[in-house]
Structure 1
Amino acid sequence: MRAPVQKLIRRPSRSIPSVILALLLLAAGSLGSWLLGHRIVSGTWPDRAATTLDAVGSATLGSAAVLIIAGIVAVCGLVMILMALWPGVPEHVEILPDAVPGQTAVTRRDLAGLVRTQVEQVDGVHSVAVTARRSRVDVVVLSVLDDLAPVREAARKKADEALDALKPVGITRSRVRIRHTS
């Protein structure tokens, strides 16, 4: 008896909240180290730090400045929580789905490379840039020809053929744009 096959894992993208939190902690740690170093060397707190601490200590919770800062901190915290929970685009895409247990998957970058290789074979194409998005493949074709309509149609047909051959799960269409280059 076989063990059940696990599906591709979709992990949330946590890089932006992590970077923001790391920068905030780095700034707070640097400030604290500088204040502690000044206190150890001179025996007193820096003048600016003393006046700031006095001003913060004398502020009431109902003052406008405290409420504004609390609101900004709350909004930043909420945004960081939402960004941590928002699912990121999975790095791998399942291709060639069938009834056989197991999955075949490629990275989005490799899928874009496979589509680019197919579109580059079209006559009149100078170069191709392909990006695999969440639900579509974006294809940008550069051509030196004056009449771009036949090249666009042939590139769209090749991109659709490549997607039909690979059958990537979740990617249903391609968008082909063409530009004239000299």
Structure 2
Amino acid sequence: MSVVSNRLTRRPPRSVPLILLAVLAVVVGGAGTWLLGAYLLDGAWPAGTAGAMDSIGTTRFDAVPLQMVAAGVGLVGLILLVSAIVPGDPARRAILGDTTPGQTAVSRRDLSRRVQRSVEHVDGVQAARVSLHRNRLDVLVRTPIEDTETVLRRARAAVDEAVAELSPVRDLRPKIRLVRTD
């Protein structure tokens, strides 16, 4: 039995937390370098920061404000670390896992559009909006018809048929909501 590579459906890295951390490090490092350079060259803190630097210099390590700042910085660091470690939702979903050898993938947006077009062709549906979140397929159906139960049943059948045609490798749980418009 061979192992199938997940190149088509790999999860994207979480680069946003890393970018935020890098920008924060550059800003704090740049400000610290500027302050230290000004102090070493002039022998005094820059005029706008002299009061703040003196109060920071006289603050004790057991002071509550300093501990609160340290806890806040540590919490932000943990949040950035966890969000960088957990991979994002894949941009493409593997489909046709049962019938086609190899791997076939479609973008999440295209999968949503395929289901949306199927629902929009149902009699009584005015408009539909579909979004895919992990394993949940959210379908919002708008109809002007008073007999919403029939439209909902037909829309549910269209969603189930579209999902069955694509045969996604990971099961999708459709959640269908119907809104009556005037």
Separation (CA, whole Å) in 1 of partners of 2:127 and 2:12: 34
State the number of aligned residues. 176
Separation (CA, whole Å) in 2 of partners of 1:164 and 1:45: 69
Alignment identity in percent?
Answer: 37
Q: Give me the CA root mean square deviation.
A: 2.7
Separation (CA, whole Å) in 1 of partners of 2:50 and 2:127: 62
**TM-fit CA distance, 1:6:** 1.7
TM-score scaled by structure 1?
0.83
Task: Tell me which residue corresponds to 2:10.
Answer: 9
TM-score scaled by structure 2?
0.83
Separation (CA, whole Å) in 1 of partners of 2:96 and 2:126: 30
* 1:1-182 correspondence runs (5 A): 5-7=4-6, 8-15=9-16, 17-18=17-18, 20-21=20-21, 24-25=24-25, 27-28=27-28, 45-98=45-98, 101-182=101-182
Separation (CA, whole Å) in 2 of partners of 1:26 and 1:149: 58
**TM-fit CA distance, 1:72:** 0.8
Secondary structure of the residue that 2:147 maps to in structure 1? coil
**TM-fit CA distance, 1:68:** 1.2
Q: Quick check: 2:12–2:91 contact (8 Å CA) kept in 1?
A: no
Cα 1:126–1:97, aligned 2, differ >3 Å: closer, same or farther?
same
Q: Deviations over 1:63-105 (max 9, x none)?
A: 2221111111111101110111122111100000137552100
Unaligned runs of at least 5 residues, structure 2: none
Specify the code of the residue in structure 1 equivalent to 2:109: R
Q: Quick check: 2:45–2:53 contact (8 Å CA) kept in 1?
A: no
